[in-house]
Amino acid sequence: MAVYQRGTSKIYYMDFLWNGKRIFKSCKTKNKKEALKKEDKEKERLLQLEAEPEEVESKPMPTLKEAAQLVYHERWGHQNRGYQTWKRVDDVAESYSNPTLDQVSANWIRGLKQWLLQDRKVSTTTANRYLAHVKTLLRVARDEWEIVDRIPKISLYREQEGRIRVVSEAELNRMVDLLRSQQGVPRRWYWPTVADLVILLHDTGLRLSEALNLRPDNLTDPGYIKLFPNNTKARMPRVIPLTDRAQAVINKHGTQPFKGIDKWKAERAFNWAKKMMKVKDPEFCLHALRHSFASNLLNRGADLYTVQKLLGHTSPTTTQRYAHLQTQHLRNTINLLTEPDGKTDVGQEGVESFQ
């Protein structure tokens, strides 16, 4: 018997030799008794294959491209960005290399990294997305399909936290005024609606896609937006209370507030107003309104857990990147040192004692 727990997941793996060939695969359980039973069952299966070799149908090992298509149908196709995930892996197979899954080695991974950074010239963040998708595919092949015994270690690049741009209240008001008045340009019917979209994004923290796809079932309760799993990136429901001006936007446009507005129209209007404001910062974009929502909450004393729930983050680590924006909260905390309670006034003698 040779089963053992592997890694932090505590999942048992079977690992034994059979006719000179190493059999190594996940038992998919944290219970040792169940793992031993699965090992026995695997040995029985191997014995049966030896006894009836003519009944064994040999299936060719799928290529990376073929496996990506299968994973898309089984998993990625049900995700909001599943098509983009599949296209990235398919791009690797088409433009870099299309090995069978048992040919994906550590050396192949090193070559993929070099191709992404030097040939494609993508950022380390984008390279990590490609690598993560390939890693997911290989794990499915090993743990679910059980067609490969081992997969190479795929380490991701360390990503630098970028600067988080927020939109000030003055910038928000200026942009809204520009989009509503459209001074000096031919009038476009949807720009005033984008002005209201900007307000809603700023006051709710919704992602652009979530706001554009609002439907009557999301607005059944006055004062709230209810998002269901199929509405959100993380496939998790959430409820966002509305500010007075966000509610005014809903009242103005009805239960399909941004019908006829797509991502292209929203960004076109936003970028025109940005140009009129003479803002050249590339981080000043529609998504910055979501950052502003988080920053405003934290600076008014909201805790990270609540902000995480309102933004719909699955991990607190994602929300933690906003912690450094709590400038006002930090100031209020430091002000505690100067409160007139007589406990923090060390006087001249106290100052001298520190020297």
21 three-class SS: strand
Task: Provide the pLDDT for residue 98.
Answer: 95
Average pLDDT, the chain: 86
Residue 151 and residue 145 in contact, taking contact as beta carbons nearer than 8 Å = no
pLDDT digits (tens, 9 = 90+) for 77-126: 877 678 899 999 999 999 999 999 999 999 999 999 999 999 999 989 89
d(CA 183, CA 185): 6
Higher-scoring residue by pLDDT: 35, 217? 217
Whether 108 and 116 have beta carbons less than 8 Å apart is answered as no
Given a cut of 90, whether residue 26 has pLDDT beyond it is no
Beta bridge partners of 24: 15
Structure tokens at 264: 């292209």
d(CA 26, CA 6): 9
- Is residue 138's pLDDT more than 90? yes
pLDDT tens digits, one per residue of 195-230: 999 999 999 999 999 999 999 999 999 999 999 988
pLDDT score recorded for residue 285? 93
Average pLDDT score over residue span 34-62: 77
